[in-house]
Amino acid sequence: MTVSLSQTHILVDDPDAAIPFYRDALGLEVAADVANAGYRWISLVAPGHPEVLVVLEQPEAGRSPENGEALAALLAKGELAPAHFRTDDLDATIEAIRAIPGAVVLQEPADQFWGVRDAGVRDPAGNLLRIEQAK
Amino acid sequence: MGVDLEELRRLRRARDRMDREFATPLDVTAVAREAFMSPAHFSRRFRAAYAETPYAYLMTRRIERAKALLREGATVTEACHAVGCTSLGSFSASFTVLVGQSPSEYRRIGQAEVGGLSDCQAMRVTRPRRGRRGSSSFGEAPATAAV
């Protein structure tokens, strides 16, 4: 039996602010952009990896107002779990992120003492992303 | 319920600034300006959002880094200045409260804390923990008072 990741969801408050980050800076491709009941679901894939979807959705979509507000507050505070990405050119990826309005580089690319070279950034919604140099 | 999401975003940006610039002589007044709040109001709202004061957050970041520098052989004075503290006395006092040893004691024997651990385990073990009594199995004195 083999199980692998097929889809993961990232909460964003403003899809129009998030798309340039994920599409233009990270280089993901928009596979679908669906609107329903006032909310949007944007599916992205990495080039060459159509089997793994990264889906951007809003915290309030499909939840009670109370739970949507609780998630929106955690997102605004920057307290949701981080997402990790891998790039073949960390420095170029970080430079592309710097050009995106609302994105912040928290930690410049650095060789960590546990053996990886990585950087820490926030997307415009407030999610923490760690981006690692592929070996 | 009326959560003020814009206020929470400002608090997040202020906390991010502490993460980015803790090694500079940053103080809570400067960070509060990032959040467009007075220092007192900022401290209250930050504590409501993150369960610790901005000063405690900033000092925890600094002392985490100082511990790494001391393990690498920096002197106490070098570590103090490298993490943005301007007063050796208040640096040592904060360090002692948070770590349970003075910086000079830690420098002498701190290496034992990470002996035999892999690097990423060492990062977790050596991260200062405020007010989590008894969480360490490595013989650290528990962190006690909030700074």
The answer to whether B19 contacts A66, with C-beta atoms less than 8 Å apart, is no
pLDDT score of B104? 93
Distance CA B38, CA B85 (A): 22
Per-residue pLDDT at B131: 57
Residue A40 host element (H or E): strand A39-46
Closest CA to B59 of B30, B20, B98: B98
Separation of CA A28 from chain center: 10
Option in B5, B16, B123 nearest A76 (CB) = B5
Place of tokens 């467009």: B36
The candidate with the shortest Cα–Cα distance to B39, out of B103, A70, B47, is B47
Give this complex's ipTM: 0.92
Helices B5-21 and B39-50: crossing angle, nearest 10°? Answer: 100
Contact B12 A126 (CB under 8 A): yes
Min Cα–Cα distance to chain B from A50, Å? 32
**Average pLDDT per 10 consecutive residues for chain A, totaling 135 residues:** 96 98 98 96 96 97 96 98 97 98 95 91 98 95
Helix (H) or strand (E) holding B100: none
**Do B3 and A73 count as a contact with CB atoms less than 8 A apart?**
yes
CB-CB contact of B63 with B83 (8 Å): yes
* The predicted structure's pLDDT at residue B7: 97
Query: Residues A19, A24, A28, A29: is their CA dihedral positive or negative?
Result: positive
To the nearest whole Å, the CA of A51 is away from the closest chain B CA by 30
Is A76–B9 a contact, with Cβ atoms under 8 angstroms apart?
yes
Q: How many CB pairs under 8 A join A and B?
A: 43
Report the distance separating Cα A46 and Cα A100, nearest Å.
Answer: 19
B28/B47 Cα distance (integer angstroms): 13
Closest CA to A133 of A99, A96, A85: A85
By Cβ distance, the residue of B49, B118, B123 closest to A77 is B49
Closest Cβ–Cβ partner in B8, B19, B119 for A73 = B8
Query: What's the average pLDDT block by block, 10 residues per block, for chain B (147 residues)?
Result: 90 95 92 94 97 94 93 93 92 93 88 62 68 42 46
Report the residue of B4, B20, B45 to disrupt the A interface, i.e. the one with the largest count of A CBs within 10 Å: B20
- Which among A16, A11, A21, A18 is positioned nearest to A97, based on CA atoms? A21
Computed on alpha carbons and rounded to an integer, the radius of gyration of chain A in Å comes to: 15
Angstroms from A53 CA to nearest CA on chain B:
27
* Predicted confidence (pLDDT) per residue in B22-51, tens digit: 999 899 999 999 899 999 999 999 999 999
CB contact under 8 A, A77 and B11: yes
pLDDT at B146: 46
- A113 with B50: Cβ contact below 8 A: no
Contact A122 B16 (CB under 8 A): yes
Residues 57-116 of B with CB under 8 A from A: none
